[in-house]
Amino acid sequence: MTKNRSNLRRIFFTIFIAIFLTSQGYSQGLTIIEQDYDLAKTESKKQNKLLLIEFYFIGCGPCKKLENKVFKDAAVSNEIGKSFVLLRYDIHKPTQDKLQLKYYVSRFPTIIVLNQEQLVFDKFGGVDEENPARGFMKSLDQAVLKVKQNEYIKGFSPSTDLTYPKFFEDFDRKEERKKDYETDIENYWATTDNRFSEVSFSILNFLFEELPDEVISFFLKNQSKYEDLFIKEEVISLKNRIIRARFGQALDGVDRAKFNLAVQWTKESYDETQAKKIISHFERFMLDQERIKKRKLARVNRQKKSN
């Protein structure tokens, strides 16, 4: 009887462990953890592996393709599992880490590659439409090479214990967003002691359409320093988005002064050939908008006179 009880206990213990590991997303090859950043860090150290963070959300087509063609493919996931632990991070589920803000993630899926000290070595997004597995493994190979060469992204600190201004935390809670953050950003920019921090750079990325003129000027003048701290291609992309947004705002308001400032920034931020091409493109639209505005004003004046 005692022997039977002992066998039963072993069976129940085995079943419990199996259920626990399954609930954490474990497999024989790739360890997959959902939402729990602390557990993912612990596991990466325990297994002496790098940490992958995948940012995704339910309903994201490319995210689903990555899941089906990469993480659910036994051969591919087993290969990934030789070097990595995976944290899958659904941005629509509440967490305390604010990882989406820290890494200014707005494209999905996005992958972050960290070592066991939480230094960030790579960040990439999207899915290879032709061959998702091949494209993903190629990106991982490039990330591993950066780890071997100790080429980490200097702007990201290992800590998640960061202080975000309240307006930015409210922005992160999507239901509490408002339309105008310009004054909030202006106040933050005037009081922060580090305009090159990951918090500051995240604000620039998420609220690029709301940036005050002085903040844009500072960013453009210090573009090379931001490139040194973060990912050069993403800094260039941010510059392009800021310039396009400012031209767009000038067109919407038919605001020639705002347009001229965008022209000035373009001349200062691009080579001569690029600048001429950008300015010429938007100038045509601006002239059209000004003609439309002039005709509307003339029509209003005629109506006033007839009355």
Residue 96 is predicted with a pLDDT of: 72
Under the banding of pLDDT at 50, 70 and 90, the label for residue 28 is low
What is the reported pLDDT for 18?
Answer: 38
pLDDT tens for 132-159 read: 999 999 999 999 999 999 999 999 999 9
Q: Which CATH number describes the domain made up of 2-148?
A: 3.40.30.10
pLDDT digits (tens, 9 = 90+) for 160-183: 999 999 999 888 666 555 668 999
The domain segmentation of the chain, as residue ranges, is 2-148, 166-306
pLDDT classification of 19: cutoffs 50, 70, 90: very low
Give the pLDDT of residue 12.
44
Counting residues of the chain whose pLDDT is more than 90, the rounded percentage is 81
**Confidence (pLDDT) at 180:** 84
Contact 171, 184 (CB under 8 A): no
- pLDDT, one tens digit per residue, over 231-276 is 999 999 999 999 999 999 999 999 999 999 999 999 999 999 999 9
Contacts of 53 (CB under 8 A, 6+ apart): 37, 40, 86, 87, 89, 99, 103, 111, 112, 114
pLDDT per position as a tens digit, 210-220: 999 999 999 99
| H helices present in 55-181, as ranges | 61-66, 74-81, 99-102, 132-148, 166-172
- Partners of 248 in the beta sheet? none
Q: Which residues pair with 34 in a beta bridge?
A: 88
Rounded Cα distance, 129 and 53, in Å: 21
Calpha distance 7→4 (Å, rounded): 5
In this structure, what DSSP letter does residue 177 have? -
CB 133 within 8 A of CB 70: yes
Mean pLDDT, to the nearest integer, of 207-229?
98
d(CA 278, CA 274): 6
Indicate the SS3 state at residue 152: coil
Give the three-state DSSP class for 84.
Answer: strand
**pTM value?**
0.85
Question: What HEC string does 154-174 produce?
Answer: CCCCCCCCCCCCHHHHHHHCH
Strands (E), 161-270: none
- The answer to whether residue 189 scores a pLDDT higher than 60 is yes
Mean of per-residue pLDDT scores for the chain: 90
**Which of 12-21, 126-135, 140-149, 196-205 is predicted with the least confidence, judged by mean pLDDT?**
12-21
Distance CA 235, CA 54 (A): 21
Q: What pLDDT, on the 0 to 100 scale, is given for residue 178? A: 63
- Would you place residue 15 in the very low, low, confident or very high pLDDT band (cuts 50, 70, 90)? very low
